[in-house]
């Protein structure tokens, strides 16, 4: 089915959209994905870099990886896919964005209703005294050598403010993701491989609540089989077309 026909179908009922987003949306902004072609997990092992144990074992290596990602991020800008979601929100058609991404690009694209379920790479925090500070500056991201101790309690090495494998997602973030899903009539699932729990369960939960699921990806994923529609192609191209059409049709209603 082409995008036009999908939008016609969707416009037969109320349009209230929740978006579930993964690393694929930021690919066009120059940020690498984790899986798939040239994904980061092809070069590194998540267990060496994105778990509390990895940080305990070799905090220098983990900081090196996060700083390398931060250096990429300092030049990254939101792309047309991020802006398409902001347009949906401005039109009153979007409830919110549940993002697995930690890059902060939705906020820079001026979306307001965002829940970053896997945290935020632009901040670092102390797991002892909960001190928190911004980390997206050149000098912090360039210093590969030293380990940053907490300037507040001076006892602990501060860590990226992200959720690692084996760590719980903050309940208020997860509750918000569930709340927005239950409020929605449509879920857009954009640029995610659909393998990381618990976010990968959201489209299944949506289907159980009679919510239409539309997937935007460049290839099939485990979510494709439960989606009402899959729109294949780079989301920085397909999503702006989709959102423009759904905005136009909703204005005519
Ligand atoms: C938890 C850190 C409860 C921040 C990340 C065994 C079986 C099942 C589950 C588990 C298991 N063992 C452990 C688990 C649980 C584990 C998990 O799901 N593991 C998976 C890998 C099997 N989950 C957890 O640990 C979570 N916590 O469950 O808590 C608990 C706690 C303790 C004890 C028991 C239970 C925490 C998960 C969070 C992990 N942190 N990142 C950071 O540094 O970034 S996850 C990491 O993966 C990123 O956050 C990333 O966003 C996320 C998901 O990946 P995607 O976003 O989907 O990205 P990916 O590269 O995979 O895919 C990109 C997609 O885009 C592809 O489909 C590609 O085709 C597409 N694409 C590319 N270009 C484009 C495009 N699409 C459109 N347009 C394009 N241009």
**Whose Cα sits closest to atom 64 in ligand 1?**
192
Q: Does ligand 1 have an atom closer than 6 angstroms to the CB of 162?
A: yes
**Do the domains spanning 3-30+77-118+169-252 and 39-75+122-162 agree at the CATH topology level?**
no
**Whose Cα sits closest to atom 11 in ligand 1?**
197
CATH topology of domain 3-30+77-118+169-252: Rossmann fold (3.40.50)
Q: Which of 44-58, 139-153, 229-243 has the lowest average pLDDT?
A: 139-153
Assign 145 a pLDDT band (cuts: 50, 70, 90). Answer: low
At 253 the pLDDT is 85
Q: Does the pLDDT at position 102 exceed 70?
A: yes
At 222 the pLDDT is 97
At 144 the pLDDT is 63
At 235 the pLDDT is 98
- Domain borders along the chain are 3-30+77-118+169-252, 39-75+122-162
Q: Does ligand 1 have an atom closer than 6 angstroms to the CB of 66?
A: no
Mutating to test ligand 1, I would choose from 19, 20, 21, 24 the residue with most ligand atoms within 8 A of its C-beta, which is 24
At 94 the pLDDT is 98
> Can 118 be counted among the known catalytic residues?
yes
Tell me the per-residue pLDDT of 8-65, one tens digit each, with 9 for 90 and over.
999 999 999 999 999 999 999 999 998 888 888 888 888 889 999 999 999 999 999 9
Closest CA to 94 of 169, 181, 35: 181
Ligand 1 centroid – CA 164 distance (Å)? 9
Closest CA to 197 of 224, 222, 229, 172: 222
Ligand 1 centroid – CA 162 distance (Å)? 12
Q: Does the pLDDT at position 124 exceed 80?
A: yes
Q: Does ligand 1 have an atom closer than 6 angstroms to the CB of 197?
A: yes
Q: Does ligand 1 have an atom closer than 6 angstroms to the CB of 203?
A: no
**Whose Cα sits closest to atom 8 in ligand 1?**
197
Question: How many other CB atoms sit within 10 Å of the CB of residue 130?
Answer: 10
Q: Decide: helix, strand or coil at residue 186.
A: strand
Q: How far apart are CA 74 and CA 34, in angstroms?
A: 19
At 38 the pLDDT is 81
Q: Does ligand 1 have an atom closer than 6 angstroms to the CB of 27?
A: yes
Specify the long-range contacts of residues 205-212, CB closer than 8 Å, at least 24 apart: 205/178, 205/181, 206/18, 206/181, 209/181, 209/182, 211/181, 211/184, 211/185, 211/186, 211/187, 212/10, 212/185, 212/186, 212/187
What pTM was computed for the model? 0.96
Q: Which of 60-64, 87-91, 238-242 has the lowest average pLDDT?
A: 60-64
At 5 the pLDDT is 95
Q: Does ligand 1 have an atom closer than 6 angstroms to the CB of 81?
A: no
39-75+122-162 is classed CATH 3.30.1110.20: no
């Amino acid at each position: 089915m082409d995008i036009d026909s999908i939008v016609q179908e969707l416009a037969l009922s109320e349009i209230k959209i929740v978006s579930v987003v993964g690393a694929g949306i930021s690919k066009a902004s120059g940020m690498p994905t984790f899986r798939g072609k040239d994904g980061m997990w092809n070069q590194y092992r998540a267990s060496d870099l994105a778990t509390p144990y990895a940080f305990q074992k070799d905090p220098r290596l983990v900081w090196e990886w996060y700083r390398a990602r931060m250096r990429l991020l300092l030049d990254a800008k939101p792309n047309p896919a991020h802006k398409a979601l902001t347009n949906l929100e401005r039109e009153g058609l979007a409830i919110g964005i549940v993002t697995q991404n930690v890059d902060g690009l939705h906020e820079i694209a001026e979306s307001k209703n965002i829940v970053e379920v896997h945290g935020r790479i632009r901040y670092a925090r102390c797991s002892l005294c909960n001190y928190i500070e911004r980390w997206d500056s050149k000098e912090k991201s360039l210093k590969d050598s030293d380990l940053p101790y907490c300037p507040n309690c001076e006892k602990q090495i501060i860590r990226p403010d992200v959720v690692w494998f084996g760590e719980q997602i903050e309940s208020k973030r997860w509750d918000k993701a569930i709340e927005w899903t239950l409020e929605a009539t449509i879920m857009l699932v954009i640029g995610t491989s659909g393998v990381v729990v618990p976010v990968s369960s959201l489209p299944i939960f949506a289907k159980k609540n009679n919510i239409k699921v539309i997937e935007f990806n460049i290839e099939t994923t485990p979510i494709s089989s439960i989606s009402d529609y899959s729109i294949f192609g780079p989301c920085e191209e397909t999503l702006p077309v989709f959102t423009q059409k759904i905005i136009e049709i909703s204005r005519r209603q």
